[in-house]
Amino acid sequence: MKLHQFIERHTWLLWFTLLLCLLIVFLLSIAIGPVNISLSNIVHAFLASSKSVDSTIILSIRLPVAVAGIIVGAGLGVSGAIFQAILRNPLADPYILGISAGAALGASIAQAFLLSSIPVSLSAFVGAIAAMTMVYLLSLSSGSSTPLYLILAGVAISAMLGSIMSFVMLMSNAMQIRIYSIMLWLMGGIKETGWHELIFVGATFIVLIVFAIFTAPYLDILSFGDEKASSLGVSVERTRLLSMTIAALLAGIAVYLSGLVGFVGLVVPHITRLIIGPSHKRLVMVSLFIGAIFLLISDLIARTVLKPVEVPVGVITSLIGAPFFLYLLLRTYKGYRF
């Protein structure tokens, strides 16, 4: 509680700290890799258009991965915060409404049958959004997309898509190799992305974040339940659909860039609430920073812990995220509320 009040009085300190932390991990993630690069060379690569080996590594490998890492982490953090509010459930995460199952099915269809004609990432993105749409329409058919119906429809659709995926894997020829590559994809890791693609994805990401920030105050109202929200002058169904679309697309982008990175979307909003409380106007903004920082740190660990082998970043986020989440749950018995 005292931390919240302190931050309330010194908001600039919060933003300054977050920016500084993000900058540090961003530079570290550019500097550290199979070949370590010094800070002066990084600065050099940015400022002068030198053709040295270091600048080539930075501009064509390290920088795109670091930028993608920020987009994935920030996107999952914000998406998780939105889903937890509209589902009125602190245990919700960006994948709960069928996104992970849809993405996994999309990815395995691409790997098993469409190899090389459609990229896995695109097929996963399409699968994720299609599954989410199905869940929404299914919940809507019960009259209104209340949080409970959404979660139930999400569970049902996820289970169904999961079993379809098992069939796909069984039916694919040359099974073993492809199943391995599907498994690797499912673990989640930042893929190397070209600049053209990254700029397009980044622009979409920024638009979505702007929407997320402006609609954040509505999340507070929605968390009071449909009837109270409606009595406060919010058109619940429309607002929920808008917020859900933003959150689903952010999660979809993350899936597109990195497969299924677990626990970021679940844990980041909780870490953020511990620091600044539950008010969503700030929660969305701070989750963005903390998500990005959390993912870049996890990626750094993933790249260095078994050097020269790179561990999928999703393994690390779950390894850090799951115990932290358990710790939060244990704290609820001692009075911490979400």
CB of 226 to another protein, least distance (A): 8
227 contributes a contact to another protein by CB under 8 A = yes
Round to whole Å and give the CA distance between 308 and 323.
26
Candidate residues 142, 214, 323, 326; the one interacting with another protein per rule CB under 8 A:
214
231 contributes a contact to another protein by CB under 8 A = yes
Strand partners, 309: 306
Which of 15, 57, 16 shows the shortest CA–CA distance to 33?
57
228 contributes a contact to another protein by CB under 8 A = yes
133 contributes a contact to another protein by CB under 8 A = no
HSE-CB for 208 with a 13 A CA cutoff: 27
Round to whole Å and give the CA distance between 34 and 288.
28
Taking residues 100 to 119 in sequence order and writing x for each that binds another protein by CB under 8 A, - otherwise, the string is --------------------
Distances (CA, A) of 213 to 139, 254, 279: 26, 18, 12
Candidate residues 59, 118, 225, 301; the one interacting with another protein per rule CB under 8 A:
225
- Helix or strand or coil: residue 194? coil
Q: What is the sign of the dihedral through the CA atoms of 307, 312, 318 and 321? A: positive
337 contributes a contact to another protein by CB under 8 A = yes
235 contributes a contact to another protein by CB under 8 A = yes
Round to whole Å and give the CA distance between 272 and 311.
27
Shorter beta-carbon distance to another protein: residue 166 or 231: 231
Shorter beta-carbon distance to another protein: residue 148 or 175: 148
Q: Provide the CA 14 distance to its chain's centre, in angstroms.
A: 22
Residues 272-291 that bind another protein (CB under 8 A): 273, 277-279
230 contributes a contact to another protein by CB under 8 A = yes
325 contributes a contact to another protein by CB under 8 A = no
Torsion of CA 160, 165, 171, 176, to 10 degrees: -150
Taking residues 46 to 85 in sequence order and writing x for each that binds another protein by CB under 8 A, - otherwise, the string is --------------------------------------xx
Task: Give contact residues for another protein (rule: CB under 8 A).
Answer: 1, 5, 84-85, 88-90, 214-215, 217-218, 220-221, 223-228, 230-235, 273, 277-279, 337-338
